[in-house]
Amino acid sequence: MHEVSIIQNVIEIATQKAFENNFSKINKVSLKIGQLTGVMPESLNFAFDSCIQGTMLEESTLGIEEVDALGKCEACNLQFSISHFNKLCPTCNNFCTSIVRGYELYVDTIEGD
Amino acid sequence: MSEIKVVANILHTNEEITSKNKEVLNEKGIYVINMMSSPGSGKTSLLERVISKLKGQLSIAVIEGDLYTTKDAERIEAQGVPVVQINTGGACHLDGKMIKGALESLNLDNVDLLVIENVGNLVCPAAFELGEDIKITVLSTTEGNDKPLKYPRMFENSGAIILNKLDLLEFTNFNKMEFYNDINALNAHAKIFETSCVKDQGIDDLCFWLSQQIDHKRGGNILCQE
């Protein structure tokens, strides 16, 4: 996937927020990444280490929280864990009608001084 | 040190542009398809067939995504419908900004159907919304029936899936039963078509269904084929 361009957007978002909050330095950026996005945490870490050079994130660390995927069954309203390959409701065996979460791709928090 | 809650979508730039594209397209009542597949699965051939069957009753426009060439756009142009070429210059998918530029160079008045043929790639295009009404993924029999499980996101997010090159099925080890089982596990709601451009199989069914979708978006005043 697009780990480098994702990290470039992360740097842009974090830098903007840091200015708004009068930070002179960012110590940590935390992301939430849904399990269905196909984005690889290892590749994000690799891209992060390369891309932060010369930015105000230069000495920061990257936190990645993976968000598990949840589907919803229209028949019984149950929300249940899904994966790419299993989206059947555990109680009525219907295919999930909507994916409630699993496609998250966002900057959750930044820490700085 | 302090912590700030941000909650900002990392792909926000694309999504902002895309929602503006969608506004323009919805206002004009244009049904938009984002057509995706591996390179060489037959997207352009399918499009040629569909256009030749539907252009008499619908006004169609096409945006062609390609890394470098205008080969596909030339084939579509030969069908006598407006086409805009986007050359990504090596980038592996189309994004909202590229579509915005292409829309500006198309006359969208009275267009019923806009087909965006994405760059041939089973991975990246799935993650970038373009403002479409439906994603359609094409898989050809020669690629093997294992592809939906190997590249789940694209098949998972598609409203319709076309199994193309049906005429070559007998020369491959493509297992249709496994294909249907896998699609059922990934995306049981997807509409599935089986087509062959060479033998003109399944194209009428596809066209009929597309006409219904377009008709539905426009509020029911376009005649359906058949």
Q: How confident is the model at residue A5 (pLDDT cuts 50, 70, 90)?
A: confident
ipTM exceeds 0.85, yes or no: no
What does the block give as tokens for A73?
Answer: 């069954």
pLDDT band at B224 (very low <50, low <70, confident <90, very high): very low
User: Is residue A2 a contact partner of residue A44, using CB atoms and an 8 Å limit?
Assistant: no
The residue type found at B93 is H
Taking only the tens place, the pLDDT of each residue in B183-210 is: 999 999 999 999 999 999 999 999 999 9
Q: Are B186 and A85 in contact (CB under 8 A)?
A: yes
Query: How far is the CA of B78 from the CAs of B48, B52, B60, B65, B74, in angstroms?
Result: 9, 10, 13, 17, 6
Number of domains in chain A: 1
Mean pLDDT score of chain B: 94
Domain boundaries, chain B: 12-217
Query: What b/e sequence results for B30-67 when a residue is b if at least 16 CB atoms lie within 10 Å of its CB, and e otherwise?
Result: bbbbbbbbbeebbbbbbbbbbbebbeeebbbbbbbbbe
State the average pLDDT over residues A23-30.
96
Question: What tens digit of pLDDT does each residue of A91-107 get?
Answer: 999 899 889 999 999 99
Does B58 score more than 50 pLDDT?
Answer: yes
The token duo for B52 is 């030749």
What is the reported pLDDT for B5? Answer: 94
Q: What distance in Å separates residue A49's CA from the closest CA in chain B?
A: 18
- Specify the amino acid at residue A48: F
pLDDT bucket at B220, cuts 50 / 70 / 90? low
Q: Which residues of B touch A36 (CB under 8 A)?
A: 153, 156
So what's the pLDDT on residue B90? 84
Q: Which domain holds residue A24?
A: 3-112
Q: Report whether B165 contacts B140 (CB < 8 A).
A: yes
Tell me the residue ranges of DSSP E strands in A1-113: 26-34, 61-67, 70-72, 79-81, 98-101, 105-112
What is the chain A residue with the closest CA to B127? A37
Q: Which two tokens stand for residue A109?
A: 């928090």
Distance (Å, whole) CA A30 – CA A2: 18
Q: Which CA distances in Å does A20 have to A13, A16, A26, A107, A110?
A: 11, 6, 12, 15, 12
Nearest to A107 among B8, B124, B188 (CB): B8
Mean pLDDT of B42-50: 98
pLDDT band for B147, please (50, 70, 90 cuts).
very high
Residues B88-137 have pLDDT tens digits of: 888 889 999 999 999 999 999 999 999 999 999 999 999 899 999 999 99
Give the residue-averaged pLDDT of B30-51: 98
What band does A33 get if pLDDT is binned at 50, 70 and 90?
very high
> Measured between alpha carbons, how far is residue A83 from residues A34, A36, A60, A95, A96 in Å?
11, 7, 32, 12, 11
Topology given in CATH for the domain delimited by B12-217: Rossmann fold (3.40.50)
Q: Which residue of A has its CA nearest to B125?
A: A1
Chain B's closest residue to A9, CA to CA, is: B10
pLDDT greater than 60 at residue B226: no
CA-wise closest residue to B46 among A21, B110, B37, A96 = B37
Three-state secondary-structure class, residue B149: helix
Determine which of A9, A25, A103 to mutate to test the interface with B (most B C-beta atoms within 10 Å).
Answer: A9
Provide the percentage of residues in chain B whose pLDDT is more than 90: 89
Q: Distance between CA atoms of A78 and A97, rounded to whole angstroms?
A: 11
- Residue A57 sits in a domain whose CATH number is 3.30.2320.80
Q: Which position has the higher pLDDT, B29 or A1?
A: B29
The pLDDT tens digits for A63-88 are 999 999 999 998 899 999 999 999 99
Contact B153, A38 (CB under 8 A): yes
B202: left (phi over 0), alpha (psi -120 to 50) or beta: left
Q: What is the mean pLDDT of residues B37-48?
A: 97
